[in-house]
């Protein structure tokens, strides 16, 4: 009998403990706990893995602490472009949207694509029109804006850098536990339900100061999101370009399926060897068909949590050691 389990992440990045307040850290821990516990309750009540990950990511999108949905980062031009993907491990069905700026919850649009289209990925205005035709809530683009993200863009513009460079000097003045200028904000969830089905969902605002039209790994099945009942469900967060080049999420499934590696071996290989070798930073969450959980990251921290049905939820931000 499979014990259902869910894991979530809210992005990975660098830690500036000196800039962190206990109050802010508590806000992050509480948000992670509330959302992972909600997913755990859904699974305990018999929800599918797909429903649990969709709802967990929708809640993460609604929380302005995280870079997805409300609270998404700004592009170089001061706009928002959001990406999301869902994948069903039972059928290998995928739905995804990229470069949308008017869909309140991109993960719901991705789910609508999965359920209602023979296509896999819609972009921009076409994605918004498809979502509208399926009654997915639309908002004005400034719905996603927050003062903290605007200040983050101004810092990026004044240093003339895209905030992909986590080696750059931290300049932020607030008390976010992970340095918001060196944080790879993406949110995601993976789950195994009581029927043995796996699912994954990933959503992001991308990178602060990114060029308009740039798309990262999050909406790309196999790169930032993947689920296959035969192996594993994965959601990634990090330097999108490197996660695309390494096909990070799929590589874990392939190593497990074709090379007989354990979840732990495969996920550590991808994050600490392959992604790092190409200069990438970030992490991932993964659950395999047996219910094993892996939460590796090569950055200094990653907002993360997991909860098995019937057991206490665990959340963390920093390295454990
Ligand atoms: N990993 C999120 C992005 O690169 O857009």
pLDDT tens by residue, 78-131: 999 999 999 999 999 999 999 999 999 999 999 999 999 999 999 999 999 999
């990090």: which residue's tokens?
238
Atom of ligand 1 nearest to the CA of 237: 1
Sign of the four-CA dihedral 244, 193, 8, 252: negative
Q: Return the minimum-mean-pLDDT range out of 62-71, 134-143, 145-154, 259-268.
A: 145-154
Q: Give the residues across from 232 on adjacent strands.
A: 288
pLDDT at residue 1 greater than cutoff 80? no
Q: Which two structure tokens, joined as six digits, stand for 286?
A: 């993964």
On average, the pLDDT of the chain sits at: 91
| Residues 155-205 pLDDT 10s | 888 876 655 322 223 444 455 666 666 656 799 999 999 999 999 999 999
Whole-structure pTM over 0.85, yes or no? yes
Beta carbons of 129 and 68 less than 8 angstroms apart: no
Contacts of 269 (CB under 8 A, 6+ apart): 255, 261
Atom of ligand 1 nearest to the CA of 185: 2
Q: What is the CA radius of gyration of the chain?
A: 18
Pocket test for ligand 1, best of 10, 186, 248 (most atoms within 8 A of CB): 186
Beta carbons of 238 and 281 less than 8 angstroms apart: yes
Between the alpha carbon of residue 313 and those of residues 4, 292, 299, the distances in Å are 13, 15, 23
Alpha-carbon gap, residue 94 to 96, rounded angstroms: 7
Query: Residue range 228-255: average pLDDT?
Result: 97
Band of residue 145 on the pLDDT scale cut at 50, 70, 90: confident
Phi and psi of 247, rounded to 5°?
45, 55
Pocket test for ligand 1, best of 162, 224, 302 (most atoms within 8 A of CB): 224
Catalytic residue annotation: 186
Atom of ligand 1 nearest to the CA of 239: 4
Query: Residue range 28-51: average pLDDT?
Result: 98
- DSSP secondary structure, 151-217, as one string: HHHHHHHHTT--TT-TTSPP---S--SEEEEEEE--EEEEEE-TTS-EEEEEEE---TTBPTT---S
Q: Check residue 179 and give its pLDDT.
A: 64
Report how far ligand 1's centroid is from the alpha carbon of 311 (Å).
32
Q: Check residue 253 and give its pLDDT.
A: 98
pLDDT at residue 256 greater than cutoff 60? yes
Residue minimizing CA distance to atom 4 of ligand 1 = 240
Q: Check residue 300 and give its pLDDT.
A: 87
Atom of ligand 1 nearest to the CA of 243: 1
Residues whose beta carbon lies within 6 Å of some atom of ligand 1: 184, 186, 204, 206-207, 216-218, 224, 237-238, 240
Higher confidence at residue 214 or residue 24?
214
Report how far ligand 1's centroid is from the alpha carbon of 94 (Å).
18
Beta carbons of 225 and 236 less than 8 angstroms apart: yes
Q: Check residue 279 and give its pLDDT.
A: 94
| Residues 267-310 pLDDT 10s | 999 999 999 999 999 999 999 999 999 999 999 899 999 999 99
Contacts of 149 (CB under 8 A, 6+ apart): 67, 71, 72, 73, 74, 205, 208
Alpha-carbon gap, residue 171 to 58, rounded angstroms: 30
Q: Which two structure tokens, joined as six digits, stand for 96?
A: 């995804």
Alpha-carbon gap, residue 13 to 300, rounded angstroms: 6
Q: Check residue 164 and give its pLDDT.
A: 38
């Amino acid at each position: 009998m499979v014990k259902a389990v869910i894991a979530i992440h809210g992005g990975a990045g660098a830690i500036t403990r000196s800039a962190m307040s206990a109050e802010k850290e508590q806000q992050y821990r509480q948000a992670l706990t509330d959302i992972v516990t909600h997913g755990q309750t859904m699974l305990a009540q018999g929800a599918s893995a797909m429903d649990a990950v969709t709802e967990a990511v929708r809640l993460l999108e609604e929380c302005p602490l995280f870079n997805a949905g409300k609270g998404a980062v700004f592009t170089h031009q001061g706009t928002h472009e959001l990406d999301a993907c869902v994948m069903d491990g039972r059928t290998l069905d995928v739905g995804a949207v990229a470069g949308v700026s008017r869909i309140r919850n991109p993960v719901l649009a991705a789910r609508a694509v999965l359920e209602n289209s023979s296509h896999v990925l819609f972009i921009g205005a076409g994605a918004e029109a498809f979502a509208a035709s399926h009654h997915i809530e639309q908002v004005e683009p400034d719905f996603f804006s927050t003062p903290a993200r605007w200040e983050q863009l101004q810092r990026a513009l004044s240093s003339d850098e895209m905030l992909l460079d986590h080696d750059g000097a931290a300049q932020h003045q607030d008390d976010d536990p992970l340095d918001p200028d060196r944080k790879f904000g993406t949110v995601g969830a993976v789950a195994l339900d009581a029927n043995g089905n796996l699912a994954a969902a990933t959503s992001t605002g991308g990178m602060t100061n990114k060029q308009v039209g740039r798309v990262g790994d999050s909406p790309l099945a196999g790169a930032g999101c993947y689920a296959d009942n035969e192996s594993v469900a994965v959601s990634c967060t990090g330097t999108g370009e490197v996660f695309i080049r390494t096909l990070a999420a799929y590589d874990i499934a392939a190593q497990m399926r074709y090379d007989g590696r354990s979840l732990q071996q495969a996920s550590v290989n991808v994050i600490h060897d392959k992604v790092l070798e190409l200069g990438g930073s970030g992490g991932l969450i993964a659950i395999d068909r047996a219910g094993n959980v892996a939460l590796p990251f090569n950055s200094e921290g990653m907002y993360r949590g997991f909860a098995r049905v019937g057991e206490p939820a665990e959340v963390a931000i920093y390295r454990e050691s």
